[in-house]
Amino acid sequence: MRIRTITGLDLGILVPVIALCLLGLLVIYSATGGERLGSGPFLKQIIWLACGVIAASVVIATPPRTFHAFAVVIYSISLLLLLAVLLLPAAGEGARRWIHLGPVNFQPSEFAKFALVLVLARVMSDRRFRRERLQGLILPVALTALPFALVLVEPDLGTSLVFGVILIAMLFWSGVKGIYLVLLVTPIVSMVAAFHWIPWLIFFVILLVCIYAFRVRLTDAAYLLVINPAVGIATPLIWNSLKTYQQKRILGFLNPSLDPWGAGWHIMQSKIAIGSGGLLGKGILHGTQKKLEFLPQRHTDFVYSVIGEELGLLGCIAVLLVFYIMIRKTISLAKTCNNKFSSLASIGIVSYIAFQAVVNVGMTLGIMPVAGIPLPFVSYGGSSMLFALVSVGLILSIARHRFEY
Amino acid sequence: MRAPSRILIGFVGVVFAVLAFRAFQLQILAHSRYTSLAEKNRVKIVTTHAPRGRILSADGKVLADSRPGYSISVLPYQIGNPDTLVLRLAPVLERSEEDLRKRIHDAMARPLTLQRVARDVSMEVVSWVEEHKLDLPGVSVEVEPMRRYPLGEVLCHLVGYVGEISQKELDALSDRGYKYGDMIGETGLERQYEEYLRGREGLEFVEVDARGREVGPFPDRKPVAASPGNDLYLTIDSELQMKAAEALTNYERGCVFGVNPSNGEVLVYYSKPTFDPNLFAVGISKEAWEKLAKMPSSPMWDRVSQSAYPPGSIYKLVTAASALESGAANRWTRFAPCTGAFEYGDRSFSCWSVHGRMNVVPAIIQSCDVYFYQAGIALGVDRLAETGLSLGFGKKTGIDVPDENSGLVPTSKWYNTKFGRRKWSKGVVLNVAIGQGEILATAVQLCNMASTIAESGVRHRPHVVSRVLDRDGREEFTAASERERVALSDTTIAILREAVYGAVNQPRGTGALAASLDHRISGKTGTAEAPPREDNSLFVGFGPHENPEICLIVIVENAGSGGSVAAPLAGRLLEHYLTSRPEGAL
């Protein structure tokens, strides 16, 4: 594959990322009031961007084998940090997601995404990884389950799902049989479907048909036929034994955004902002919805709404296109990599960048649930910006070394 | 790896195409509709207030509820020149211009949110504002529920108070739906049970035109109904609570705490000095707050669960239990006689009287220090601490009020870190054995220990809230009974019970002034040194002796000996409770 470069940097990946970061700055400037420069989010974002560029430069200069060597150490540190978030005294009674270091708030879950990609890439590129056996999946699943659980209890359901997406994408890329991915996902589907017997029955019939149609091996079929009914029976039993207030707590825990503002108020405002933008938008700094504070979180999770309002459909599609180019280039890179670790790591990183972009944009457009996931490179947020850039740094480093074994 | 990469790229492509189509749908196909919505500036959210849950005593007295009150609010983007507004409003609201200016300046940060500048204003202010409405753009009168505490000072520490949410709380709780200007429980049960008590505001989405005039309900959004908060039902006996307040009338500082030993239900919870929680409920003025905070007697301080006191001779029950359990002494062991003082090392430790030679039961009854100095030496500081910890000292009891104090049970490890290895004398145990020195305990812990003895070794977690009901009477929360057996043998319990009965009912007992003619009361006095002031007076007791229904502690700061001050007060409270209960006297 041909790659245009400056000093060995893959421009197909670098240019889209730079474009997104600059657009992010512009929109944050516009969304947080414009004239009051030098105060608040805009300046902070510039500082974080600078830190991110420095960190990414260091990563670019580091060969991927170094990350292979330190993958387990990095992963362990990320787990310790996630534990620290839960154990350190919380600032209040709300969700615990940050570690406060003086003026800087650090969000370990962002670091954990990057760390999980490294450790999974290392495990799956190991010769001992037996992708054709179900037992081979135990280690990757366990490695994912730890950060998943730690982030889930923060509680931050949206971010914890990102870990699951990383696992599924990397398993898929490593060539694990499709049926094993189904095995991983079915117990969760079973749990959700079990709240009413009709959906569960439909689910189970489909499962049986699939087992028959795809000629699933006997042991795998046995696993499916034991674990799914077990989960299906246990879920309503456990649920019904809980008191009303406990059930309420769990529901609130699973979805903290079930706010009294009536979930959907944010979405409605976001749709009005985007829809009123039209083809060309109202022009940067000229949005009306964001100015009137009708649009909440307009520089963090709802930054895409401001883009839609001020830059219109062209801006919206341009952002999607730029993301798509970057994702496509990275997948092509993963395909041409000679080194299996590098190939898997690229896919892991691009899977969470793509997932976050899709969920965030989908949310602002009102076709995905509110999950509290930022738009990579664009949304205001220190830790997410820093680690998105570090992740891209790794992809660029992989691109420089892609012919090495 | 060709196939997976094609599948992935194809999959991402399809998803992005769906997103792009959705953007097209909103921005091109539905553009005119959203433009008109946006231009009309259009949705106004009107909140409908939901009252906070009530708090009721066991006998049905309302301890906290809500009444309607008037507030003055501003909608900042309509007010024009804020300085003119400050000059006009300040004299009417009887507020300092500086105060009001800050308030309005803060409000300007949220131009489109209706924000309170004064709470619970008088009818005169309301009519003045209504009269001058045309000259006061952006100013409005709102009706909203105000918190009211009918018993006021009598139960202020336990019930606590609500206050306007601070910026710090707001940052931490924003994802729970709190917003600027909300009231939130700040102390006591109001804080502990905030989640149950708070009402969830309802929302109405009203369409408005460019001038802010209401056009009608917004078609796309259904209103969200307000849901009032849940009611707390306490275990507190309001009559006993009043009696406790009455009992301490002549004393400046102290507390009374009592539980039902058979289930841990808290019957009385009184701390003095008190404050008026009603001042906080409507937003306390800066001057009043500073006056309260600076008072040397710290009325805001909850002396029941937040103060750790030296327990004095009450702790001799722990020392006795420790000696009996470890075998350092038995029922009949007699140490060297009390001559009014005891020599240890190069120091002399005194006793408050001359008791002669005695075993554990008379030693407790007459509260002989010399007996317990020797028991302490035989035990050592760590064995004594072990019994203290197992009887609930040095850790939170788990009572359902915020910020409970753990107290302190010193161990040799603790002394090592505090003073350095070998830099402390073994003599510390003599003081700890009689409840002086480093040992610290809360009223809740002391009462809990006595109630464990009363209940023959079964300890219940003390709790104040028995259940929480929603407005339709459905149970949202029920206090679970949490009981455990402490590691004391039946013999030890029997000896301790015999001794606390004697301490009240024998002529030489230090708690004789707590005795009642009608009821069999047991108890133990404590006199704790509080230099340079007079001693703290303590008494913990329970009754009836055989089948205890109440265990109660009285602590009076700097009032004198336990037997002379706290014991008679506690005796009258116990007697009152036992006589007034439905079953009546003996």
- Per-position DSSP letters for A213-247, written without gaps between them: HTT--HHHHHHHHHHHHHHHHHHHHHHHHS-HHHH
- The pLDDT of residue B474 is 87
pLDDT at A383 over 60: yes
Residue B342 has phi, psi (to 5 degrees) of -140, 130
Tens-place pLDDT, residues B19-35: 999 999 988 888 888 88
**CA–CA distance, B453 with A165 (Å, rounded to integer):** 58
pLDDT at B585 over 50: no
Nearest of B259, B314, B329, B262 to residue B492 by alpha carbon: B329
- The pLDDT of residue A178 is 77
Complete domains list, chain B, with CATH? 44-145+184-234 (3.90.1310.10), 238-580 (3.40.710.10)
Q: Bridge-partner residues for B350, per DSSP?
A: B341
Our CA-based measurement puts residue B105 at a distance from the nearest CA of chain A, in whole angstroms, of 17
Touching check for A260 and chain B: CB below 8 Å? yes
Our CA-based measurement puts residue B471 at a distance from the nearest CA of chain A, in whole angstroms, of 15
Model confidence at B392, pLDDT cuts 50, 70, 90, reads very high
Name which of B5, B9, B27, B37 to mutate to probe chain A: the one with the most chain A Cβ atoms within 10 A of its Cβ: B27
- The pLDDT of residue A209 is 85
Model confidence at A55, pLDDT cuts 50, 70, 90, reads very high
Touching check for A90 and chain B: CB below 8 Å? yes
**Inter-chain CB proximity A365 and B39 less than 8 Å:** no
pLDDT, averaged across chain B: 88
pTM: 0.63
Question: How far, in Å, are B372, B388, B415, B424 from residue B412 at the CA level?
Answer: 19, 14, 5, 9
Cβ-count burial B166-192 (b if 16+ within 10 Å, e if not): eeebbebbeebbbbbbebbbbbbbbbb
pLDDT at A396 over 50: yes
| Rounded (5°) CA angle B297-B302-B307 | 85
**Inter-chain CB proximity B23 and A95 less than 8 Å:** no
pLDDT at B427 over 50: yes
Chain B residue closest to A292 (CA)?
Answer: B112
pLDDT at A253 over 60: no
- The pLDDT of residue B63 is 94
Model confidence at A345, pLDDT cuts 50, 70, 90, reads very high
Lowest-confidence pick of A4-8, B36-40, B342-346, B456-460: A4-8
pLDDT at A144 over 70: yes
- What percent of chain B has a predicted confidence (pLDDT) above 70? 94
pLDDT at B47 over 50: yes
Of the candidates B23, B168, B169, which has its C-beta nearest A274's C-beta? B23
Tell whether the torsion through CA atoms of A281, A282, A287 and A289 is positive or negative: negative
**CA–CA distance, A224 with A201 (Å, rounded to integer):** 15
Q: Which of A22-36, A293-307, A332-346, B454-468 has the highest mean pLDDT?
A: B454-468
Name which of A246, A276, A342 to mutate to probe chain B: the one with the most chain B Cβ atoms within 10 A of its Cβ: A276
Chain B residue closest to A249 (CA)?
Answer: B195
- The pLDDT of residue B304 is 96
Lowest-confidence pick of A303-307, B39-43, B102-106, B399-403: B39-43
Which three-class secondary structure state does DSSP give residue B116? strand
Contact B483, B458 (CB under 8 A): yes
- The pLDDT of residue A255 is 55
pLDDT at A203 over 60: yes
- The pLDDT of residue B136 is 85
**Inter-chain CB proximity A260 and B41 less than 8 Å:** no
| CB–CB contacts below 8 A, A to B | 155
Mean pLDDT of the region A10-34? 85
Model confidence at A292, pLDDT cuts 50, 70, 90, reads very low
**CA–CA distance, A398 with A392 (Å, rounded to integer):** 10
- The pLDDT of residue A264 is 57
pLDDT at B567 over 90: yes
Interface predicted TM-score (ipTM): 0.86
Model confidence at A262, pLDDT cuts 50, 70, 90, reads very low
> In chain B, what is the greatest distance between 2 CA atoms, to the nearest angstrom?
102
pLDDT at B380 over 90: yes
Contact B268, B237 (CB under 8 A): yes
- The pLDDT of residue B2 is 52
pLDDT at A295 over 60: no
Q: Which amino acid is at B336?
A: A
Of the candidates A244, A312, A362, which has its C-beta nearest B19's C-beta? A362
pLDDT at A259 over 50: no
Mean pLDDT of the region B54-69? 92
**Inter-chain CB proximity A279 and B113 less than 8 Å:** no
Mean pLDDT of the region A192-214? 80
Q: Which two tokens stand for residue B224?
A: 């969200």
- The pLDDT of residue A92 is 46
Task: Please report residues of B whose CB lies closer than 8 A to that of A264.
Answer: 221
- The pLDDT of residue B39 is 66
Task: Please report residues of B whose CB lies closer than 8 A to that of A245.
Answer: 196, 476-477
Task: Please report residues of B whose CB lies closer than 8 A to that of A365.
Answer: 19, 22-23, 26
- The pLDDT of residue B235 is 95
- The pLDDT of residue B219 is 64
